[in-house]
Chains A and B, each alone.
Chain A
Amino acid sequence: MIINSNKSQILDFLVDAANVKGDCDAVYFPKTAQEISEILIEANKKKTKVTIAGNGTGLTGGRVPQSGIVISMAKFNDFEIDESRKIAKVEAGVLLSEIKSKVEEKNLFYPPDPTENNCFLGGTIATNASGAKSFKYGPTRNFINSIEIVLPNGEIHKISRGEIFAVDGMLKIGDFQIKLPKIQMPKVKHAAGFYIKKDMDLIDLFIGSEGTLGIITEAEIRLIEKPENYFSAVLFFDDEVKSLEFVAEVREKSIRNRNFDDEINALAIEYFDFFALQFLKIEFPKIKNHHKAAVWVEQEINSANEEILTEKWLEIIEHFEADIENSWIATDAKTRREFQDFRHAVSWKISEYITRKNFRKVGTDTAVPNDKFVEFYNYSRSLVESQNIHFVAYGHFGNSHLHLNMLPENEVEFTKSKEIYKQICQKAVDFGGTISAEHGVGKLKREYFELMFSDEEIREMAKIKKLLDKNLILNFGNIFSERFFN
C-alpha cells in the first residue's frame, strides 16, 4: 500500500472546493476493505484521527483533515455493470463522470448528478448528493441498493436495502444496538445530519452520514433505462417576477403530472439570477444585457410525445413572457452538454473566485417548503442587498433550493457575509426548511446545523457516532462540534 507523507505531494488532500484548509501527517492509498480495516484497527490503538478523502469537490470541508492521517479512496476503481438486472457494482473511488458514460454506452442511465461530475461515487453516497435531476428522481439515496462499509472499529459489513429495519426505535448492526433519536426531519430536500425516521432502513443511516459512521468501499447502484431524448431549454426572462412565477407554475404542474407522459413534467428546474448571468457573460456572450434571469428546464421526451410536449412548453413559456427569440433549445446531446456546462460554470466560477480571494465559500445550501420559497428568496436577497455585499443567486429551484453565494471583497465584508449567512439559515429553519439540502454539514456548517435541532437532539445523534466510533477517530469534526461528545 502506498503511504505518502511528503508534504509537497499531498497538498491536494489538505483542501476542498470550498477552500477549507487543514493538515495531516500522511495519506494512505489502500485498495481493499481489508486494508482499510487494518488501518482503522491500528488508528484506534494509537488514537490517530482518520479523515476520508473522496475527490475533493465537497463544499463543506468534510474531507479536510485537522490532524492524523488521510485515507484516499482513489484506488477503489472496480466497476461492473449488469445490464440485464440494471444494476452496477461500483467501488467507492470510481468517478461519477465515468459511471455516467459507461452506463450510457449500455443504454442505461444513473440519475444522481451533483453538477460536478468529477467526484467519487463514495463521496456522493457519503453526502447523499443531489442535483438538478433530484427534482424528479430524488437524491443519491434513492439509487443505492447496497453498500459495503468498514465501521470505525474495523468491522466490514455489507448492508442491503430492504433487509434490516428499525424496530421500536432501535437499529442493529453487528453487536451494536443503535437507539434512534426522536427527531423530525424537515419535509424538504435535506442533507444535514443523520437520516432518521421511524421504521427506517439501516442503509439510510449510513448514506449521507458524511463519513462519520464508516468508510464506504463499494456500492450496488440502481440504473434506469436511458431516456430516448430530452426537451432541454435555457429560457431567458426580461422580467424577474415573471421568471419566478414561471418556476412556480412549472414546479406545480410537474409534481401534479408525475405519472403523465404527455404533460409538462420537468425533471429539472434550475435558476440563474441577474448577477449569475453577469458573472457568466464573458464565457457565454449569447446572454443579452436585458436578460434579468434564466431558467433551465428539462424533460424526458420520446418520438411519440415530442411534438405535443414542445407545444405545451411553448405555450407556458409564452405565457410567462420569456424572451423566446433569444432563449436556447438543445437539439442534440452536444448542445445539452453545453447547457450543463453553463450551469456548472456558475458553481465552478464561485469556487474559483473564493479560492483566488482566499476566503472560504459563503454560499447557502438552504431549501424551504415550496409555498414559502418566493418569500424566502426575496428575504434573503434584500438582506444581502441592504448590506451592499456582491452576490450571485442560483439553484435547484424545482426543489425550492437556493444557492445564494456572497462574494466578499475583503475581511470586513467576509465577516458581514457570515452574519448574513446565519440569518438566512435561521429564516430557512423558521420556515420549516433546512440549512443544507445537499452539500452536508461538514466542518463549515456545524454552527448552522445547530440552528435546526436542539442541543438535546444533536446530542442524541452524536451518541450514535460515539457508539460506533468509541475513540472518535473517524472524520471527527464533521457534523458535530466537540462539545456534543462531552
Chain B
Amino acid sequence: MKIVVCVSHVPDSAAKINIGADEKNIDKNGVSFILNPYDEFALEEALKIKDSIGADVVLVSVGGDEVKETIRKGLAMGADSGILLKTNAYRDSISTAKLIAEEIKLQGANLVFLGKQSIDGDNGVVGQLVAEILGFNSVSVAVSFNLNGDKIVAEREIEGGREVVETSLPAVITAQKGLNDPRYASLKGIMAAKKKVIDEKEVTVSEIGVELIKLKKPAQKQAGKILGKDSSAVPELVRLLKEEAKVI
C-alpha cells in the first residue's frame, strides 16, 4: 500500500514575522523554518499504518530548494521517500492542489494525508481541493482515524461534539491536532534519512486564481484593561462585554 503525505515548509510558529521589502513576501532573515505542525499529525498517522500493516510512505512537497530541509525531517521521522515538486513561482491553494493531485495520480496512491491547514497561508483548503480533483472521498479536520481493509472510520470535531464518519478508500484525510502524538525523529532515522533520495521534479504552475497584491501586518492589539481585582469590578466588566466588545 502506498500512502502520500503532503508536507509544507513553514516559518517557525514562534518566529516574529516581518514583511519583506517587496511587500509580497516575509523577511526571512533570522526566521527558522519547520515542518508544518499539522503535517506532523498527518505523517504520524501514515507511519502508524506503516508500523501496523506495512506501507510505503511517500512525502510530497511543492516549493523551492529550501523545502528539501523539511522533507528531510519527514524522512528522519520514518517516511520512505520524498518528492519535491520544484518551483519558485507564486502559487495559490488551487495551483498547489493541482500539482499535488497530478503527482498522487502518478504514484498510484489511494490514501493521502495532509494537515488541516498550513500555518503560513492558513487557507485550510488544499486537502479538500486535492480530493475534489482526484474524485477521492475526503474527511477533513480528523481527530481519529481507523482503517480496516478499505473501510475507514474517522472522527471529526464539530461544534459541541464529535462526528463519526464512515467512508472507504481512495481517500484524502486532513489531520487536526489530537489525531495522535507525533513521534520525534530517532538518531537512526536521521542517519537513514541522509541516505534516502529526494526525487526532484521541475513543475510549472498553470493558472492562478488568487493574486497576491500585498502583505500587511495585522493592526497592533490594544493594551488590555484592568477593571479591578475583586467582585466589585464585575458589573463594569459585564457592561463592557455587552456594549463595547458585544460578545454577550
B13 CB within 8 Å of chain A? yes
Complex alpha-carbon distance, A95 and B100, angstroms? 44
Q: In the complex the two chains form, is A329's CB within 8 Å of B30's CB? A: no
Given contacts A332-B73, A337-B14, contact A324 B32 (CB under 8 A): no
Q: In the complex the two chains form, is B34's CB within 8 Å of A327's CB? A: no
Complex alpha-carbon distance, A330 and B72, angstroms? 12
B187 CB within 8 Å of chain A? yes
What residues on B are CB-neighbors of A333 within 8 Å?
12, 14-15, 32, 34
What residues on B are CB-neighbors of A102 within 8 Å?
16
A257 CB within 8 Å of chain B? no
What residues on A are CB-neighbors of B208 within 8 Å?
none
A468 CB within 8 Å of chain B? no
Q: In the complex the two chains form, is A286's CB within 8 Å of B181's CB? A: yes
Q: In the complex the two chains form, is A233's CB within 8 Å of B73's CB? A: no
Q: In the complex the two chains form, is B186's CB within 8 Å of A325's CB? A: yes
Q: Nearest chain B CB to A339's CB is how many angstroms away?
A: 9
Chain B CB within 10 A, most for which of A311, A313, A329, A331: A331
Chain A CB within 10 A, most for which of B29, B184, B194: B184
Q: Which A residue's beta carbon lies closest to that of B29?
A: A107
Q: In the complex the two chains form, is A329's CB within 8 Å of B185's CB? A: yes
Interface size class of A (residues with CB under 8 A): 20 to 34
B229 CB within 8 Å of chain A? yes
A105 CB within 8 Å of chain B? yes
Q: In the complex the two chains form, is A329's CB within 8 Å of B189's CB? A: yes
Complex alpha-carbon distance, A104 and B16, angstroms? 9
B48-97 interface (Cβ within 8 A of A): 72-73, 76-77
Q: Mark B99-118, 1 if CB is under 8 A from A, else 0.
A: 00000000000000000000
Q: How many residues of B contact A (CB 8 A)?
A: 30
Complex alpha-carbon distance, A286 and B183, angstroms? 8
A136 CB within 8 Å of chain B? no
A34 CB within 8 Å of chain B? no
Contact of B16 among A101, A226, A317, A329 (CB under 8 A): A101
What residues on A are CB-neighbors of B18 within 8 Å?
105
What residues on B are CB-neighbors of A325 within 8 Å?
186, 188
Given contacts A8-B230, A307-B194, contact A332 B187 (CB under 8 A): no
Complex alpha-carbon distance, A333 and B187, angstroms? 17
B42 CB within 8 Å of chain A? no
B134 CB within 8 Å of chain A? no
Q: In the complex the two chains form, is B13's CB within 8 Å of A226's CB? A: no
Given contacts A8-B230, A332-B12, contact A324 B37 (CB under 8 A): no
Complex alpha-carbon distance, A286 and B229, angstroms? 41
B191 CB within 8 Å of chain A? yes
B199-248 interface (Cβ within 8 A of A): 229-230
Complex alpha-carbon distance, A305 and B20, angstroms? 31
A326 CB within 8 Å of chain B? yes
Q: Which B residue's beta carbon lies closest to that of A317?
A: B187
Given contacts A8-B229, A105-B16, A107-B29, contact A331 B187 (CB under 8 A): no
B136 CB within 8 Å of chain A? no
B145 CB within 8 Å of chain A? no
Chain B CB within 10 A, most for which of A226, A328, A329: A329
Q: Mark A295-322, 1 if CB is under 8 A from B, else 0.
A: 0000000000001001101100100000
A334 CB within 8 Å of chain B? yes
A106 CB within 8 Å of chain B? yes
Q: Mark A1-31, 1 if CB is under 8 A from B, else 0.
A: 0000000110000000000000000000000
Q: Nearest chain B CB to A372's CB is how many angstroms away?
A: 31
B190 CB within 8 Å of chain A? yes
A174 CB within 8 Å of chain B? no
Given contacts A8-B230, A226-B30, contact A334 B190 (CB under 8 A): no
Complex alpha-carbon distance, A311 and B191, angstroms? 8
Q: Nearest chain B CB to A336's CB is how many angstroms away?
A: 9
What residues on B are CB-neighbors of A337 within 8 Å?
14
B179 CB within 8 Å of chain A? no
Contact of A335 among B184, B186, B229 (CB under 8 A): B184
Q: In the complex the two chains form, is A314's CB within 8 Å of B191's CB? A: yes
B35 CB within 8 Å of chain A? yes
What residues on B are CB-neighbors of A317 within 8 Å?
187
Q: Mark B114-138, 1 if CB is under 8 A from A, else 0.
A: 0000000000000000000000000
Q: Nearest chain B CB to A87's CB is how many angstroms away?
A: 17
A sample of 20 inter-chain contacts (CB < 8 A) reads A8-B230, A106-B29, A107-B29, A226-B30, A286-B181, A286-B183, A313-B187, A314-B187, A314-B188, A317-B187, A327-B187, A329-B184, A329-B185, A331-B185, A332-B33, A333-B12, A333-B14, A333-B34, A335-B184, A337-B14
Given contacts A324-B186, A333-B34, 10 further A-B contacts (CB under 8 A): A9-B229, A106-B30, A307-B194, A310-B191, A311-B191, A327-B187, A329-B76, A332-B73, A334-B13, A335-B184
Question: Can you list the 8 inter-chain pairs with the closest CB atoms, starting with the nearest?
Answer: A328-B184, A331-B73, A332-B34, A333-B32, A105-B30, A334-B34, A333-B12, A329-B185
- Residues of chain A touching chain B, judged by Cβ–Cβ distance below 8 Å, are 8-9, 101-102, 104-107, 226, 233, 285-286, 307, 310-311, 313-314, 317, 324-335, 337
